[in-house]
Every structure is written in C-alpha cells, then in structure tokens.
Chains A and B, each alone.
Chain A
Amino acid sequence: MHFLLRVGILLLVCAGGVGCSGQEDARFVDWNKRAPVALPRQEPAITYAYLPQYTHAVSFERHRRILEYLRQATGLPFRQVFPATFAEHMAMVERGDIDISFTNPFVYVLLHHRAGAQVFARAVEEEGGADFQGQVIVRADNAAITSLEDCRGKTWIAVEPTSAGGYLFPLALFHEHGITLDQFARVEFARGVGGKQEQVVLAVLSGAYDIGSIRKGTLDIVARRYDTSAIRVLAETPPYPGWLFCARKDLSPEVTQQVAQALTALRRPKDESILAPAGLTAIIPASHADYRPIEKLMHTLGMETVP
C-alpha cells in the first residue's frame, strides 16, 4: 500500500516536472516604440547589368566577383542591377540606368544604333572562345527530327526575339537552309523573368515543343540541376563574335577606360575565381568593328536596328 502510494506521488512529481519544464528566455521588444521605415536610399554608383538571360540569382552569382574586382581595381562604386527582360535592359541603357552592360552582340548592335552604346571589351568564354554559337536542340528520343529539314512544320521555342545564340543565330541557320519562320507550326519565346535559357531546355525536355534554340554552353549550366542526357543537339550555328562589355553613350570615357583596363587585365589562372563563375576565360579589348558580322546577319534576317 505504502509502496503504491510512493510510486503514485513520484509519478505525479515527474509528470508535474515534465509539464512545467521547458520555460524559454524571451527577448523583450517594446512594441509601442515605432517609426516609419523609409526605403533605403541608393548610393551613387556605376551600375552594371548582365543581360537577363538567366535568373537574377544566376546573374548575380556569375558576375558578383567581377563587380567586387572592379570595385577594388578601380576604386569606383559599382552596383549590379537586374533588369527583368532584354527590352527592359535596353530601355534602362537608353535611360542611363545601366552604365555598363554585359550583353550579347545583337542587343549590343541594337543599343549601339539606338542609344549609342559602345563596346570596349569582349568576353572570351570557356566554349567558343571570343565567339559563341547557338544550338538547335530536340529530345533525344524524338526520332521524327534528325535534320534541320525535319524541323519544318514543328513547334519551336526560342529564348527571346533579341537573343543571339538563343534565337537569331539559329534563325539565320534555318534561313540558310531555306527554312523560313512561316514554315514552322509555331514559334514561341520563353516567358517570365530571367532564366529563359533554362526555360527553353525544360520546355523541350518536357515535350511541350519539338525543337528549341539556346546559346551553346547552356546545357552545361543547366546540367547542374536537370538531367540533360535526354536532350540531343540537332545543329549548331556558325560562331559569331561573342558577348561583350559596353558602356552607355554618356558614361565618362575615363570610367570606361578604367573599367576596360581592369577587365582586360584579368588573367587566368590568377583570376580564376573571378572569371570562372562568369564562364569566362579572359576579357579582351574590342571595338564596334568586331561586330560587323552581326549587323550583317541582322540585315540578312531583315531585322531593323533602329525602330
């Protein structure tokens, strides 16, 4: 009887102990001490933008170290900005919101003709060097498409109307093979903000479209997140001068000069940590003359450089 009583009391004590345990320390915050919050003022800085062919996060990650390098090398304040679309990018350059653009040759030619942007350096990429190519991709198991000619009557998804590797180079390639836009069942462009190269790959992978056009190298980038073994490269475009760094029309030439010097001073392997995230092996000086082939190609495709 006494034993049972003791056990019962012990159980009650234990249960009470368990029930009362776990008191946490709380930090007091005076809820009545309030103030309006003003949006942070943007400090004056040289704005830098990566043509939004990827998501903002990817764009940020690829060029974050280049910006840090430029800050250190030039002593100038730099800030990366993230336009949502190619059009917004071009509009921001035209408005003067973007001082330095890392952009594709088509956008550059358009910016050059519309807003007076001027190329000062050219990217040397891991694949293709200073030039770059576009690719036409299909699903690996799509037996109906084995050549460019098979693409007639098919649905095509491209990155953007102004995407070099992602649309214009492949368009020129089809043009050379006598395939015009009206011969496709449907031509559509990736929707949304950024990440459009990936969206094209995913659209073809999912079977939503028969063919897709991307910039060469995209498959390696997206291979980190998606299984690209199900993708077959149907054709590659000839190489064209690749991506470039350009300054808006009114940017101080001294600043442009400083930036050009700093960028072209990057060398591998000492600057591997800066160049590699951006997919670059080097940055070389460039001038507008280097991009005449692009202008020619645009003319061939009937694209107007000035609206």
Chain B
Amino acid sequence: MKRLFSRLSFETKLNLGITTIIATMALTLLPLVVSITKDALLEEHRKRGADIAASLAVRAVDPLLALDFLRLRELVAEPRDVTYIFIQDRAGRILAHSFGPDFPVDLATANHADPQNPMRIQLIDNGMERIDDIATLIRVHDEPIGTVRLGLSRRAASEILDHLVATLMIIFLTGLTLASAAGTLFARTITSRLDRLQSRAGALRQRHLPETSPTLPDPPHQGDEISALEHAFSAMARELDHRMGELLQAQRRLEEQTRLLSTVLDANPDRICLRDTRMIYHAANEAFCQAVGVSKEDIPGRTDFDLFAEDEAERRHLEGRDVLASGQRMERQEQETTAQGSRWFHVIQIPVRGARGRILGLLRMERDITAMKDYERQLIQSQKIESLGKLAGGVAHEINTPLGIILGTTQLLLDDVPADSSMAEDLRTIERHTKACRKIVADLLEFSHASTSEKVEMCFNNSVMEAVSLVRHTFSLDQVTIATDLDDSFPIIYGDPEELKQVWINLLTNARDALPQGGIIAVRTTLLRAESCVRLEVADTGIGIDAASISKVFDPFFTTKPVGQGTGLGLSVSYSIIEKHKGQIQVHSPVPETFPWPVPVDGPHCGPGTLFTVTIPLDHASLEDHHGPHSRPR
C-alpha cells in the first residue's frame, strides 16, 4: 500500500491529500455542525414558542377573567406560524382553540403545567409530525386561572435544518470541488516546475558531467516527481562532489606548480616578464620587479610606459609588437647603461601561444651577461698577454746572452784599467746599466714564465710581514705608515715565497708611489675558511686610479709613472705570479667604504685610495669561480 502510494505522482498525491482533508473535515464537522445547529434551532424554536405562549398567557388574563370567548378565540387565531393554540380554564376545559370544529381529544391532557412548573414543554408525535407542545399557566399574580397550550411543529425547524444540511453539503462539495481544482492547478504548477527543474538538472548534468563516475553508480528511483527530482539532484550532487574533489586536487596541484614556478622564476636571476597581446604586463619575477622598482603585486595592469623611461619604453614596446606581429622568437644582446655603470643583457622574447596556436602573450627574459662579457674580454687579454710573454721571453733570451758578454767584457776591462780613472768610471756606468738591462730581461723572462719556480709550504702571514718589514722603514721616511691587520690563524699556503714576496713588495711599492704626500697603507690578511683560501688586502689612502686606467693596470708596460720610474711590468708580473698560484688579484678604486681600516684614516691628505685584493687557495684548487664584481685580472 505504502509502496503503491509512493509510486503515485505528486499531483495525484496532492489531490488525494486535499480531497481527504476536506472530506474528513466534512465528515467530522458536518454531524457536529448539524447537531449544534439542530440544538440551537430547537432551542430557538422552543424559546419562540415559549415567548408566544407567555405573551398569550398575559393577554389571555382579561378575556379569561371576563370569559370573553370572542377575544379568546381571536387570541388563539392570531399567531400564524404555530401549529395550534388552545386555552384551557383552571379545570382544564377548552375555552378556545385553533383546530377548527374538532379538537384532538387526547391533546388536552398530553401536557400539563402547574405552579411548580409554570411552563412545560412536551414533544408530541401525532403520527405525521413531531410537535413541541408548550403549556404555560395563565396567572394573576401567582394564582393560576388557566393554561395556554401552544404547539410548534418541528417540521419547519426540520426543513430549516435540512436546508442547512443541504447548504452545508453543497458548500462542502463546492469547497471540495474548488479545492480539488485549485489543488490540481497548484499541483500542476508545482509538478511542472519540478519537471522543469528535473530536466534542467538532467541537462546540466549531461552538459557538464557527461560521463558518470564509474565509482558512483546511480541508485534506482521509484516514486513521484519529487522523488525523481531528489534522485536527479542526488546524482548530480554526488557527481559534483566527486568532480569537486578532483577539481580541488587539481587546484592544489596547480597551486603547488604555480608556487614552484613562482619560486623558480623568483630564484632565477634573469629578468622575466609576461605581457599580453595588448602589451599589458600580467606577471613578472622578482628580479624584474627589483630592476623596475615595482612590487610583484603592482605589476599586473602596467605597461612599459609605466615602468620605464619614455625612450626605453618606446623601444621595448616596439620590439614586443614586432615579435607579436612576426610570431618569431627574438634573441639578441643589448647594453644597458645606467648611473651605476654599463651592463650587458642577453634578451630573449618568445610569443606565448595557446592550445590552438593563437598568440596569447609575450614572454621576455633578460639575462645579465656582463660577467660573461668580462670573461670574454679577459680571455682575449690573456691570450694577448700569453702571446706577448712568449715573444718577450724569446727576445729576452736572445738579448740576455749579448748582455752577459757585454757585462763580462766590461768587468774584464775594469780589471785592466785603474779604478779611479775616467775609463773605469765609464766602464762602471756600462756595468750598472748592463745590470739594469739584465734586470729588465730577467723580469721579461719571469713574465714569459721562462723562469722556474719552486713552491713550498709557507706561512702566508710571515711572507707578508717579511715584505712589510723590508719596506716599512724606507716608507716611513716618505711619511707613509704601514698598518697591519693579520689573521691570527697563521694560514699555511703552498707557494713560492720569493715570488710572492716580490708580489707583496710590488703592491706595497705601488701604494707608496700613490702617496706622494704620505699617508697610510693598510695590510690585512684574512683566512676564508668557507672558501678554503687566504686573502691579502693592500689599501692606501693615495691618489687612486681613474676609471679609464683601472681596467689597464694589469696590462704589460702600462704605467702612469714618469718615464724612467717604472717599467709597467710590475703588476703584470704580479698577476702572472698569482695566476701561477691559482689565485686571483683584483683592484678597486676608490677603496670600498666597507673596508675595515686598522687605523683611522681621516685627514686632509687622504685621497680616494686603491685596494688590491689577492686571494690564494690554501690547497691547489683554482679560485676561478670566486670573483667579485670589480675583478680586473690582467
């Protein structure tokens, strides 16, 4: 039964429900209403009869006392809507009645009022109808002098009641019909909407979830439209839940990938940015943002004209347009000159295409290749130095022999001439200059690696201090003070003590030459445990090196000193020695502000100064990968 009911359509259920409610109400209320109405009608019926009887009893007093039968007859004939009236005297004799010629004999005694019950109502059944017989005493004060009997047929009340019941039935039936019609209309309105909702849910599911998840089979449904709708929505909800789970997983993966990509991009030192086809920026990495001085969050929506100077923006915009128009990858190197200096960038611009090959945007990557450019130039320079060294070595070797002959011959001649003669003086001049020439030749040979070296384990600090001690006194005569700050860990290196001492003396001598008015030379050694190397820094408060010269100081024969005061080979030789020790030598001018001077350097004679930094590995590893932003190895 329950199953059969559940299979009925919602519209049928609604109609059945409304019909049942109204029918139940009718069946429940109709007897109640009829009963209450019947009681009220009968009560009113009796009350009306009692009022008429009481009125007649009062009006009958005088005619009864006067035995005025005519007036009594008029009294009983007066009311029109009663079944009968008759008046009895005290002895119960009929004085007047409304029955016509004959009076129902038994009626006279069918009801009786007395002083204890001055009005008595008795239901009388005459075989044809039921009549309420009302007997009312006619009294003068408390003295009964007769009785008025009045009969009210219940037919009229019954007719009214029947009419009322019929009316109520009609009302109920009309209500039932109207309610059923309204219910049908209402149900159709609802069910049509439910049907539409169900079909929309199905369509939605078909359109967006064309394939049902194999793990979520649809349970069979039985029932009405609501059940079908519930089923459709449940299935859709399950599918949506399942798909939503997949979607969330995909979203999490996407977020992780986005985060990873962002991390990778931000960690990338290249400047990377993405623009759409309207050349509006969508994203950029950290390096790009730092370069343009805008936060990552503020990048989207900007254009080149918001981020760069007008010329630069115009150039970038046109370049981007060209790439978007051609659809071809563009790659080139460009130099960027700023207040901080000139830098080289390798620029790649790639059109970003969608799944169907349509260009959606433009990816621009700028890699800083300034260092590579420097290396490139250094390589060329090294090659040049190496070639020059070989040439100088060959020339020196060839010159060395004649110089030896000249020196030997000169010294033989000196033995043959008196020591105080002018000949001897001339010969000593020849000897001195020949020795000078031999020194030059020896340097040339050293420069060309022609000389051999012998590396031993040596104390780095001792080597430095030997050089410092050697020159400190002489320098002090020129008002030059050497302040040292040596690392206490006494680093041991593997090197040639003599050659390194030559480097240290060369650096100290150059510093002293930069201090014509005197000043301070700071010598600082540091053990860099992490890099497994030891560093020497020689800084002076001297005149410094101008920007044009600083890139050439390690070039052979480059010198800023007057003719005769320098060969221009000192720093080139030093460079060669350090290179032989797998180390690096760098120059900075002016001295960086971060340099920790061992003594105060405030004074009117202080210039921008120069800082030479020599780094030598503790072992034999090369320090080629450790280079600073201003390294100028030559």
B106: chain A residues within 8 A (beta carbon):
29-30, 33
B65–A82 contact, CB under 8 A? yes
Q: Quick check: is B103 within 8 A (CB to CB) of the other chain?
A: yes
Contact pattern, B 62-95, Cβ under 8 Å of A = 1, otherwise 0: 1001110100000000000000000001010111
| A82 and B24 within 8 A (CB) | no
Contact in complex: B125, A15 (CB < 8 Å): no
Question: Contact between A57 and B140 (Cβ–Cβ < 8 Å)?
Answer: yes
List the B side residues contacting A69 at CB < 8 Å.
Answer: none
Min CB distance, B610 to chain A, in Å? 104
A152 interface residue per 8 A CB criterion: no
CA distance A55 to B63 in the complex (A): 11
| B128 located at the interface, meaning its Cβ lies under 8 Å from any Cβ of chain A in the complex | yes
Interface positions of B (Cβ within 8 A of A): 24, 27-32, 34-36, 38-39, 61-62, 65-67, 69, 89, 91, 93-95, 97, 99, 101-107, 110-111, 122-128, 130, 140-141, 143, 145
Decide: A31 near B31, CB < 8 A? Known: A55-B62, A57-B62.
Answer: no
Are A57 and B29 in contact, with the CB atoms below 8 A? no
- List, in ascending order, chain B residues with CB within 8 A of A60's CB: 65, 140, 143, 145
The reply to whether the CB of A27 lies closer than 8 angstroms to some CB of chain B is yes
Alpha-carbon gap, A16 to B122, bound state (A): 26
| B62 near A25: Cβ-Cβ < 8 Å | no
Contact residues in B for A12 (Cβ distance below 8 Å): 24, 27-28
- Complex contacts, B126 vs chain A, CB 8 Å: 28-31
A21 to B39, CA, bound (A): 10
Complex contact A18–B35 (CB within 8 A): yes
Q: 1/0 per position for A18-54, CB-CB distance to B under 8 A?
A: 1111101111111111111101101000000000000
Docked-complex contact B124 and A18, CB < 8 angstroms: no
| Central interface residue in A22, A55, A57, by most chain B CB within 10 Å | A57
Q: Do the beta carbons of A15 and B28 come within 8 Å of each other?
A: yes
Q: Which residue of B lies closest to A42 (CB)?
A: B67
A193 within 8 A of B: yes
Q: A36 near B123 (CB under 8 angstroms)? A: no
* A84 contacts chain B at the CB level, 8 A cutoff: yes
Please list 13 pairs of residues, one from A and one from B, whose beta carbons are closer than 8 Å in the complex, sorted by A's number. A8-B24, A11-B24, A18-B35, A27-B123, A28-B124, A29-B107, A30-B106, A30-B126, A31-B127, A40-B95, A59-B65, A64-B143, A82-B65
* Given A18-B31, A18-B32, A34-B104: A40 and B124 interface contact (C-beta under 8 Å): no
Q: How far is the CA of A289 from the CA of B241 in the complex (A)?
A: 132
Cross-chain contact A36 with B35 (CB below 8 angstroms) = no
Q: Smallest CB–CB gap between A7 and chain B, Å?
A: 10
Once bound together, how far apart are the Cα atoms of A27 and B62, in whole Å?
A: 32
Q: Please give me the residue from chain A that is nearest to B93 by CB atom.
A: A40
Interface residue A56 (Cβ < 8 Å from any Cβ of B): yes
**A61 interfacial by beta-carbon distance below 8 Å:** yes
Residue from B38, B66, B111 having most chain A Cβ neighbours under 10 A:
B66
* A-B contact sample (12 more), CB < 8 A, given A11-B28, A60-B65: A12-B28, A15-B28, A22-B38, A25-B123, A27-B122, A28-B124, A29-B106, A39-B95, A40-B89, A57-B61, A64-B140, A194-B62
User: Which residues from chain B contact A36 at a C-beta distance below 8 Å?
Assistant: 101-103
Bound-complex Cα distance A30 to B145 (A): 28
| Contact status A26-B125, CB under 8 Å | yes
Q: Does A81 make an interface contact (CB < 8 A)?
A: yes
- Answer whether A84 and B66 are a contact pair too, CB < 8 Å, given A15-B27, A16-B31, A22-B39: yes
Beta-carbon contact of B66 and A35 below 8 Å: no
A residues contacting B by CB (< 8 A) are: 8, 11-12, 15-16, 18-22, 24-37, 39-40, 42, 55-57, 59-61, 64, 80-84, 193-194
- The answer for the CA separation of A291 and B62 in the assembled complex, in Å, is 32
Given A40-B89, A55-B62, A82-B65, A29 and B104 contact (CB-CB distance below 8 Å): yes
Min C-beta distance of B545 to chain A, whole Å:
105
Known: A21-B35, A34-B104, A37-B103. A27 touches B66 (CB 8 A): no
**Residue in contact with B31 in the complex, picked from A19, A80, A83, A84, CB distance below 8 Å:** A19
A182 to B91, CA, bound (A): 53
A29 to B128 alpha-carbon distance, docked (Å): 10
B127 with A28: CB separation less than 8 A: yes
Residues of B within 8 A of A82 (CB): 62, 65-67
**B32 and A56 within 8 A (CB):** no
Which of B24, B62, B69 is A39 in contact with, Cβ under 8 Å?
Answer: B69
The reply to whether A26 and B130 form a contact with Cβ atoms under 8 Å apart is yes
- List residues of chain A with CB within 8 A of the CB of B111: 27
The chain A residue with its CB closest to the CB of B103 is A37
A-side contacts of B101, CB under 8 Å: 36
Chain A residue at smallest Cβ distance from B69: A39
B24 contacts which chain A residues (CB < 8 A)? 8, 11-12
Q: Is the CB of A29 within 8 A of B31?
A: no
B31 adjacent to A35 (CB under 8 Å): no
Give the shortest distance, in Å, between A26 (CB) and chain B (any CB): 4
Query: What 9 pairs across the A-B complex have the smallest Cβ distances?
Result: A19-B31, A34-B102, A26-B125, A31-B126, A82-B66, A56-B65, A56-B62, A26-B123, A37-B94
Q: How far in angstroms is the closest Cβ of chain B from A95?
A: 15
For A194, list chain B residues within 8 Å (CB). Answer: 62
Residue among A12, A25, A40 having the largest count of chain B Cβ atoms under 10 Å = A40
Does B103 contact A19, Cβ atoms closer than 8 Å?
no
Q: Which residue of A lies closest to B142 (CB)?
A: A61
Known contacts A12-B27, A56-B61; decide if A27 and B104 are in contact (CB<8 Å): no
- Determine which of B38, B91, B110, B128 lies in contact with A27 in the assembled complex, contact meaning CB atoms within 8 Å: B110
Contacts of B69 in A (CB 8 A): 39
From A20, A27, A193, give the contact of B125 (CB < 8 A).
A27
Task: Report the bound CA distance from A242 to B127 in whole Å.
Answer: 61
A192 → B minimal CB distance (Å) = 10
A24 to B39, CA, bound (A): 12
B residues in contact with A35, CB < 8 Å? 102-103, 105
Cβ contacts under 8 Å, A57 to chain B: 61-62, 65, 140-141
